[in-house]
A and B are shown apart, each in its own frame.
Chain A
Amino acid sequence: MMAKHKIVLLFPAAVVEQPFLYHLVKDYNLFVNIIRANINPRKEGRLVMELAGEQEDYDAGINFLESRGVTVMPFEQQVKWNEDRCTQCGACTVICPTDALKMIRPEMIVEFDESKCIVCEHCFKACPARAIVAHY
């Protein structure tokens, strides 16, 4: 059975320089598709990616990451759109690069489609009401 998920990896500063993805591909036979990465020497790193492979390999790969101190989080809960705080203005909709935040027309209602979000975080500060926040 195949497994395919979007995940977010948090690398503690101590391990950020290790070649994790090399191991995922070579030792666990997994497909990696990097969506977004913020990796700097000796600083905590963050990587958003899609990981796919046989379920057994997938689970082993995740175990490998966690055993090395990497935090693995489901991608979907990374960005939270707080509908109550949203003023329904629309300022975010031209900033979001993937249309995850988009305007339903002609009603002009703002909607957030989590599955399209790549956690680029551009909306956090583009939202005047600060209604979109990180959840990590």
Chain B
Amino acid sequence: MKVSKTYEEINEKISKGDAVVVTAEEVITLVEEKGLEQTAREVDVVTTGTFGPMCSSGVFLNVGHSTPRMRMSKVYLNGVNAYAGIAAVDVYLGATEIPEADPANQHYPGEFNYGGAHVIEDLVAGKEVRMEAYSYGTDCYPRKKLETLIKLEDMNEAFMFNPRNAYQNYNVGVNLSDRPIYTYMGILKPNLGNANYSTSGQLSPLLNDPLYKATGIGTRIFLGGGTGYVSWYGTQHNPCANRTDKEVPRAPSATLSLTGDLKGMDPKWVRGVSYLGYGVSLMIGVGVPIPILNEEMLRSAAIKDEEIYTQIIDYSEGFPFGKGGSLGEVDYAQLKSGKIIIQDKEVPTAPLSSYPKAKEIAKILKSWIQKGEFLLTEPVASIPSVDSGKKMKPLKIRCIEEKEEFDG
């Protein structure tokens, strides 16, 4: 490799307002026109983006101490239960939590119009939220219940902590059965009526950094319209998935655990969403900057939709019951064309993750960096990669035998 830059050099250029920053979409044509080496010399940073439903998200909140004090053990925000099994007035509100009174799927398919993700959106939007809290009372925390209104600005700390975001690639969901099904991949019409997918393809963070050379623990990112960080690798992180010769996984692979200050976020990029018959999720905007340290990193960041493949999975039987494998492989250019062929049938496609919004995120991040407001961070540690041997394990259900305690 002929080009070699460091984080320090790039950050110096950013601070001076001299850095050349392009989005993961713009870089494709640049590389096609100027070649890899020339572009690697010129471009300092490539910005990525994604705006899709990410169920494994939530917020830690410290709501402040009342007088008399209270060790809250049950907390509801707009009727949605927040986990209070931590310190006195700390809670964790999960995106997919629904109010206890929600009929869920008792009236199938349930609507799930409001849940944890919507509370998070309301908080970020600065709205008042009704809080109820209950406790058993202690000598140091005597209060047993309270009811109040609270806003994000009233809280001491509020930070998002998402155990699994930014999936590196994801399945295409279809339905082989003869009835409609309601899934986290949206409504899937019977007999291959539609095929839904959910990544931003060539703009997606980890598809542009397939071996996690730029993305690691401590990487500063765009999260929900504010600044966030990669805190760990995400749950179900599966770097050893099957890959193409460009090292890009052909199936769901790496994930990231992300954190960021809720108070700096924008409700435009933190949206509660409802999947009919499935539940509530959070659409969250994520953008990761990739420093172009050399040609190799640029080659990865210049990936195109037609070079990224994923698997078509049946969500009527295949996914829920672990039956059968992939129904075929498609690339993102095919998916974005609006139709794909599955079992000789032309099937219309729809994304659940917004491409134009992903592009907007990449552009916002680009402008932050161009203005010198956002410096890049070198990961303090790498996340497990292809050489880690790390794989996703299924849960084996074992027979719990009666203990023979009383047999001499």
Contact = CB atoms under 8 A, between A and B. Distances in A.
Interface of A: 87-95, 103, 105-109, 125-126, 128-130
Given A88-B354, A89-B351, A90-B354, A129 B273 contact: yes
A95 B187 contact: yes
Contact of B113 (A89, A91, A130): A130
Given A87-B354, A108-B356, A128-B283, A94 B276 contact: no
Give the bracket for the number of chain B residues in contact with chain A.
Answer: 20 to 34
Contacts, number: 71
A87 B187 contact: no
Contacts of A87: 51, 271, 273, 283, 354, 357
A128 B281 contact: yes
B356 A109 contact: yes
Interface string B344-368: 0000111111111100000000000
Across chains A and B, which 10 residue pairs bring their CB atoms closest together, nearest first? A128-B273, A108-B355, A94-B194, A94-B350, A88-B354, A90-B351, A90-B350, A125-B276, A91-B186, A89-B354
A108 B271 contact: no
A122 B237 CA distance: 36
Contacts of B337: 105
A94 B274 contact: no
Contact of A108 (B111, B273, B283, B354): B354
B205 interface: no
A78 to B, nearest CB: 20
A95 B275 CA distance: 13
B287 interface: no
A106 B350 contact: no
Contacts of B109: 125
B349 A89 contact: no
Nearest to A128: B273
B196 interface: yes
Given A125-B111, A126-B276, A128-B186, 18 more contacts: A87-B51, A87-B357, A88-B354, A91-B352, A94-B189, A94-B196, A94-B349, A106-B336, A107-B355, A108-B336, A108-B351, A128-B53, A128-B283, A129-B271, A129-B273, A129-B283, A130-B113, A130-B274
Contacts of B274: 128, 130
B116 interface: no
A89 B52 contact: yes
B64 interface: no
Interface in B146-196: 186-187, 189, 193-194, 196
30 contacts: A87-B273, A87-B283, A89-B351, A89-B352, A89-B353, A90-B351, A90-B354, A91-B186, A91-B187, A91-B350, A91-B352, A93-B350, A94-B194, A94-B196, A94-B348, A94-B349, A95-B189, A95-B194, A105-B337, A106-B336, A108-B351, A125-B109, A125-B111, A125-B276, A128-B281, A128-B283, A129-B271, A129-B283, A130-B113, A130-B274
